[in-house]
Amino acid sequence: MGISLAAILLGAIYLAATIAWRQAALFLVGAAAGVVLYHAAFGFTSAWRAMITHGRGEGLRAQMLMLAVTCVIFLPVLARGQIFGQTVRGAIAPVGVSVIVGAFLFGVGMQLGGGCASGTLYSAGGGSVRMMATLTAFIVGSVIGARHMQFWEATPALKPISLVGRFGLSASLAISLGLFAAITIASFAIERRRGISGVQAERRDSSRWMRGPWPLAAGALGLAAVNIATLGLAGRPWGITSAFALWGSKTLAVLGVNVAAWPYWQGANAATLHGNLLTDVNSLMDIGILLGALLAAGLAGRFDPKWKIPSKSLVAAVIGGLLLGYGARIAYGCNIGAFFGGVASSSVHGWVWFVAAFAGNTIGTWMRPIFGMKV
């Protein structure tokens, strides 16, 4: 706890003094996200698997709550184009083959790797050695995806579609909230059909806010606050995985590989590749998530790395990580950048990502026993 807290505080002070106060604030927002993710165990992977295998919808409903709260704030701000003098833009991307294929691969990777983008970070930060293997493979897959990005950008695709741009603020907000409500109602209907009643009992002692576990609703509201704060500070929604491509590419550049010649790292991305890592918002927030999860694990008394990993599970972690990294890159983001940020920005590609990734999770869930993993 001491190491993680000191790193968070000293990191924020250093960033404020040498870069800018916004970078320091974003670093702290990332650390807060790590605490929320860890204490609420707020993952997309287990929630979707619970729906696929048992018809339990608590996790999926928490995600719909998170999206609804975020949309109510996001859409008026994005329609206005600025907040507190800061210019803002949504996570809007094309709808095409690359999104469908990438999201599907990402979905398979979620179940084999054992987590999504945010789940991988907070689990690795919390001391999971297996998830550190997934994270390493995630970075490798991201670099390969960046290398192949020119090919995927040439595949058939529609231009970016924004519901706000197409239908206006009121109609797009109504459409989004209606879809969240429909998914929520459907999850209740599935539970009734499966004969599921009530939810699992939660511990309610006074120490839960320091040690966890938090209610899923608290996690949903906490992550909504993280994304809203990111929009206000960075001028765009929260993202995670572009940093992995950057970390891997910078490593290759140090080793002598001419990654700057790749089409992905030319144009607007060239400055990011050659710039200071501490000026990259996603990198700062990802590091913050790792440290925040480490702090939360210390508070919960659950930091206990297990170094012995079954060989099949380790293979699944590597394969899953590669699929996660590659899929996220060609799909213009992960469950945070493409799904959470995209849907909250009223981008149709976010919904397409969700459908394709959920299908991938179904296949990935079926594959888990092959690698000795529980369903």
pLDDT(201) > 80: no
Task: Count CA within 13 A, CB hemisphere, residue 366.
Answer: 6
How many domains in the chain?
Answer: 1
pLDDT of residue 195: 87
**Contact assessment for residue 350 and residue 90, using Cβ atoms and an 8 Å cutoff:** no
Write out the two tokens for 99.
Answer: 């999104």
Place of tokens 């079926």: 366
What's the pTM?
0.95
Please give the residue range of the domain that contains residue 181: 2-371
- Chain-centre distance for alpha carbon 264: 21
pLDDT(163) > 60: yes
Instruction: Indicate the pLDDT class of residue 86, thresholds 50, 70 and 90.
Output: confident
pLDDT(160) > 60: yes
The C-alpha atoms of residue 321 and residue 287 are separated, in whole angstroms, by 18
The secondary structure element, H or E, covering residue 35 is helix 21-40
Q: Averaged over 85-111, what is the pLDDT? A: 96
Per residue in 39-66, pLDDT tens?
A: 888 889 999 999 999 999 999 999 999 9
pLDDT(208) > 80: no
pLDDT of residue 322: 98
Per residue in 305-362, pLDDT tens?
A: 778 899 999 999 999 999 999 999 999 999 999 999 999 999 999 999 999 999 999 9
The secondary structure element, H or E, covering residue 281 is helix 281-300
pLDDT(205) > 60: no
The C-alpha atoms of residue 359 and residue 46 are separated, in whole angstroms, by 14
In the chain, beta strands by DSSP E: 82-83, 86-87, 95-96, 157-158
Q: Averaged over 368-374, what is the pLDDT? A: 94
**Contact assessment for residue 263 and residue 150, using Cβ atoms and an 8 Å cutoff:** yes
Alpha helices, DSSP H, located in 41-168: 44-54, 58-80, 97-113, 117-125, 129-153, 163-167
| Cβ-count burial 105-140 (b if 16+ within 10 Å, e if not) | bbbbbbbbbbbbbbbbbbbbbbbbebbbbbbbbbbb
Q: Averaged over 280-285, what is the pLDDT? A: 96
